[in-house]
Amino acid sequence: MKTTARLSLLLLLVFAAPVRLQATEAPPVPADGTPTAEGDSSADDPAVLKARGDVDAAVTMVRWIFPKSVADFLADQFVVIAMMDPYGVTSQMPRGWAYAKWDYTTITASHRYDSHRKLGPILAPFTLDPAAQALIGTNATTADLGVGGHGGGHTFQFSYGINGMIDWYIEIPFTFMDVGFHPDAGAAAFLRYYFSEREMEPLVGYKGKWLLGDVNTGFSWNIYRNPWFSVALTPRVYLPTGHIPNPNRNFTFASGPELETGLGGWAFGFTQGYDVRLLPKGLVGWFDIIASTEFGFTYAAPQRRQYPDNFEKQAELLLTAFGQPMPQVPADYVQKSTFGYTPGMGLDWTAQLNFSLAVIGFGVAYGIKHSAEAEIFDAHPAFEAMAKALQLTGTQTMHGVRLAASINLGLFMLGFQWQKVVDGYNTIVFTDYYQLTLKGFFPVGPFDEPKDVKPAGAHIWGD
């Protein structure tokens, strides 16, 4: 998901004196002190004069560091950003500026919330009644596959500011994982029954590196912004680029340990964000508090999937273990090589409180992510019954908290996040969730000049 740029990331204030840049009674001349050219429409504009006063200290420092041509360009861009006053999750890049971002994430998967919101193994152990024991040839009364592992990802994001209100972005995620089965005696008998010796070897474990996820791209539109309230909408489309495991090794259908890194087909979604500035700008020096909330929606198109080999044999065992009968197959049923699958519609909500002091930022957030039950259609009745019994494609809900910290180094930003799942329903729990973020800003062009920018609050719905 696209995370928009903060105002201070472009101001190079790390080089400036550690005092709040307050508005001053700046004279109607450019920041370099040269007389105003006749006909310059911005010379007497109160908004431009105020913005030049706000960034005067930063401009002075820039002129000590950079050549005059570079310093003049940055001075004007500082004024542009000061007049835009972007903040929070809804802020946009100034026109002509871009950023590149890299997120590195590590996680561990060892537990899962079941349909009773009880925390337990990823795939709950199932009881082997006498019929199941006789079927697979074991005296064990339970079977625990011991699914678990660890992994993470690299996510690359690029964003470009089109006009100060609208950004375009593209995000390319990659996943790495080291997962596998660690079965007890009952589960080992199950695996021997279902898989041949040749098929068993890849199920012991799976290591995947640089597995491409669903590339997504879209536009973020800052619909309205004033000094204390801001709204943005981000529609996006997901490309069907994610890694979908071989059907004989796909954890979604309990045929193996590999996890899907995408939805498997085309999808679209949007995020609606809101920011509220809780302290008037400049009231307490460089200290700022922003309350934000975001609502998200995702819908995936129907697709076709391959069956696992011998799924009827697997279904017979699992349904017997779950105490469910094998479903009747209609007399007119015609077996196809694929079945229909539609991932569940996704909804999410996040609320966060962000504090910033000079170049240091800190945030705390709470979020809920919900996914409706996936639809399996045009499928063999035994396979559909087995998939529903496993509850791995059912309705899922996850509650989580997040702590974040960042330091803005002018044209670079370094961030760190920690997340923890605190409640859930039919969802895998990822622990040891840590994320490192590096972001760099650079000019591309064309750029706005101060006279072209409307002060924050002067636009709504693109007017």
The confidence score (pLDDT) of residue 385 equals 92
> Taking 90 as the threshold, does the pLDDT of residue 210 lie above it?
yes
- Closest residue by Cα to residue 1 from 274, 294, 259, 242: 294
Say what percent of the chain tops pLDDT 70: 82
Burial of 134 (0-12, 13-18, 19+ CB in 10 A): exposed
Instruction: State the average pLDDT over residues 151-155.
Output: 97
Band of the pLDDT at 127, cuts 50, 70, 90? confident
**pTM of the complete model:** 0.83
Instruction: State the average pLDDT over residues 441-445.
Output: 93
The confidence score (pLDDT) of residue 323 equals 76
More confident of the two residues 418 and 1: 418
The confidence score (pLDDT) of residue 455 equals 63
Which domains does the chain carry?
92-328+336-452 (2.40.160.40)
The confidence score (pLDDT) of residue 16 equals 35
> Taking 80 as the threshold, does the pLDDT of residue 294 lie above it?
yes
Band of the pLDDT at 31, cuts 50, 70, 90? very low
Band of the pLDDT at 434, cuts 50, 70, 90? very high
Single-letter code of the amino acid located at 72: D
Q: Measure Cα distances from 440 to 94, 101, 436, 456 in Å.
A: 14, 7, 14, 25
- Does 446 sit behind a cis peptide bond, omega within 30 degrees of 0 on the bond before it? yes
> Taking 80 as the threshold, does the pLDDT of residue 153 lie above it?
yes
> Taking 80 as the threshold, does the pLDDT of residue 119 lie above it?
yes
More confident of the two residues 259 and 271: 271
The confidence score (pLDDT) of residue 314 equals 79
Band of the pLDDT at 458, cuts 50, 70, 90? very low
Say what percent of the chain tops pLDDT 90: 48
Give the number of other CB atoms < 10 A from CB of residue 428. Answer: 20
Cα–Cα distance between 16 and 220 in angstroms, integer? 31
Mean pLDDT in the chain?
Answer: 83
Q: What string of H, E and C letters represents the secondary structure of the chain?
A: CCCCCCHHHHCCHHHCCCCCCCCCCCCCCCCCCCCCCCCCCCCCCHHHHHHHHHCHHHHHHHHHHCCHHHHHHHHHHHHHHHHHCCCHHHCCCCCCEEEEEEEEEEEEEEEEECCCCCEECCCCCEECCHHHHHHHCCCCCEECCCCEEEEEEEEEEEEEECCCCEEEEEEEEEEEEEEECCCCHHHHHHHHHHCCHHHHHHHCCEEEEEEECCCEEEEEEEEEECCCEEEEEEEEEECCCCCCCCCCCEHHHCCCCECCCCCCCCEEEEEEEEEEECCCCCCCCCEEEEEEEEEEEEEECCEEEECCCCHHHHHHHHHHHCCCCCCCCCCCCCCCCEEEEECCCEEEEEEEEEEEECCEEEEEEEEEEEECCCEEECCCHHHHHHHHHHCCCCCEEEEEEEEEEEEEECCEEEEEEEEEEEEEECEEEEEEEEEEEEEEEEECCCCCCHHHCCCCCCCECCC
Range of 141-145, 164-168, 253-257, 453-457 with top mean pLDDT: 164-168
> Taking 70 as the threshold, does the pLDDT of residue 35 lie above it?
no
Instruction: State the average pLDDT over residues 99-116.
Output: 93
> Taking 90 as the threshold, does the pLDDT of residue 324 lie above it?
no
> Taking 90 as the threshold, does the pLDDT of residue 204 lie above it?
no
Please write the tens of the pLDDT for every residue from 56-68. 666 777 788 888 8
Please write the tens of the pLDDT for every residue from 214-256. 999 999 999 999 989 999 999 999 999 999 999 988 888 878 7
Single-letter code of the amino acid located at 286: W
Kindly state the tokens that stand for 458.
């002067």
Please write the tens of the pLDDT for every residue from 340-358. 999 999 999 999 999 999 8
Please write the tens of the pLDDT for every residue from 86-97. 899 999 999 999
The confidence score (pLDDT) of residue 198 equals 63
The confidence score (pLDDT) of residue 110 equals 82
The confidence score (pLDDT) of residue 263 equals 94
Instruction: State the average pLDDT over residues 189-207.
Output: 72
